[in-house]
Amino acid sequence: MRGDREDWVTEQINERTKGLDKLGIEEILRRINEEDRFVVRAVESVIPTLAKVVERVVESFRSGGRLFYVGAGTSGRLGVLDASEIPPTFGESPERVQGIVAGGTQALHLAVEGAEDDLHSAVDSVAQRDISTHDVVIGITCSGRTPFVLAALEEAGRRGALRVLLTVNPVDPESVPADWVLAPVVGPEVIAGSTRMKGGTATKLILNMITTTTMVCLGKVFGNLMVDLQPTNQKLVQRAVRMISGQTGLDEIRAQALLEEADGHVKTALAMHQLSCGVEEARRRLESVQGFLGRLGAE
């Protein structure tokens, strides 16, 4: 299953970055930047399949399901990162999007020897979270062959979950335990085999696209405003006040008072202003339109 590493695109020598150690700082930076341009085009090539994946994630969330990212090393850390940003940005429960990294919490800041080859741990990680038919599991592996990831996908499949493999190397879809494969092939890395670079960038872009688009489709965004954010620090409180002020025309003092009346929830505050009603009525009306602020008045 793992194949010969020399056959992996990301392990090949990049002819455009040979002699990197002989270049000056600015030229090194330019070479890296030039290589990163390949990433955007590679991600663009998988958008049709990515759209189908997001559609299923939205369906999963609407039926009470969850999204799991599974990965080792950089891939696993990027999954945990994306998952951790969903609650404060969109007001979702931490249970909704979860990251599973080979080696557990320790692997977020230190390499855990042998973690990516631990098949038993992969199966246990899926079982412990009671992954089932309502869930979507995205296995992230730049090589497309990481044993921990493939074992987790196999177990998720046995439990009826939808499985997606995200890789930056070409793979035969029939050879991997996944319903869909996302393979934005980014080409040889700047430094051979260092998939924390182009591979990691492609991964971050795609995970951002999946969760952001899902949240838009679930009414968590009004226009391009994160109206379900959790104002848990002064910066976010100020952002919330600015959003309310900008959308309502209220000065910031009155906008902050409205935010406080709405228990710190921007969307509720905006609904209260739009409908000229109290907080409970605003919540009821938002619930009637599945949380889509833009649909108020049309229900």
Q: What average pLDDT does this structure show over 252-263? A: 96
pLDDT, tens only, 59-70: 999 999 999 999
Res. 2: pLDDT tops 50 = no
Element (H, E) at 182: strand 180-182
Environment class of 268 (CB within 10 Å of its CB; exposed 0-12, middle 13-18, buried 19+): buried
At 112 the pLDDT is 84
Average pLDDT value for residue range 187-214:
95
Distance separating alpha carbons of residues 12 and 9, to the nearest angstrom: 5
pTM exceeding 0.85 = yes
Task: Give yes or no: 116 in active site.
Answer: yes
Confidence of residue 254 (pLDDT cuts 50, 70, 90): very high
For residue 39, pLDDT over 50 is answered with yes
Residue 298 has a pLDDT of 63
Predicted confidence (pLDDT) at residue 1 exceeds the cutoff of 60? no
Dihedral (CA of 229, 235, 241, 247) sign: negative
**What phi-psi label fits residue 101: left (phi over 0), alpha (psi between -120 and 50 degrees) or beta?**
beta
Contact predicate 50/210, CB 8 Å: yes
Mean pLDDT of 12-27: 92
Task: For residue 89, give every residue at least 6 positions away whose Cβ sits within 8 Å of its Cβ, in sequence order, or none.
Answer: 215, 226, 229
Region 30-55 average pLDDT = 97
Rounded to 10 deg, the angle between the 47-62 and 198-217 helix axes is 50
Q: Which of 108, 113, 110, 69 is nearest to 203 (CA)?
A: 69
Q: Give the model's pLDDT for residue 31.
A: 95
From 35, 116, 154, 189, the catalytic residue = 116
Tokens of 215: 């949240």
Decide if pLDDT at 8 tops 90.
no
How many Cα atoms within 13 Å fall on the side-chain side of residue 185? 8
Average confidence (pLDDT) over 190-212: 95
**Is the pLDDT reported for residue 3 higher than 90?**
no
For Cα atoms 236, 227, 90, give the angle at the middle one, nearest 5 degrees.
Answer: 80
Q: pLDDT-based confidence at 11, cuts 50/70/90?
A: confident
Distance, CA of 184 to CA of 195 (rounded, Å): 13
- Proportion of the chain above pLDDT 90, given as a percent: 89
Which of 6, 35, 44, 85 is flagged as catalytic? 85
Q: At residue 243, does pLDDT exceed 80?
A: yes
Average pLDDT, the chain: 94
The answer to whether the beta carbons of residues 289 and 299 sit under 8 Å apart is: yes
DSSP-derived 3-state class of residue 99: strand
Domains belonging to the chain, first-starting first, are: 5-217 (3.40.50.10490), 234-295 (1.10.8.1080)
Structure-model confidence comparison of residues 229 and 4, the more confident one: 229
* Of 182, 229, 236, residue with least CA distance to 210: 182
Q: Give the pLDDT confidence score for residue 13 in this predicted structure.
A: 80
Start-to-end C-alpha separation, the chain: 53
Give the pLDDT mean for 257-266: 96
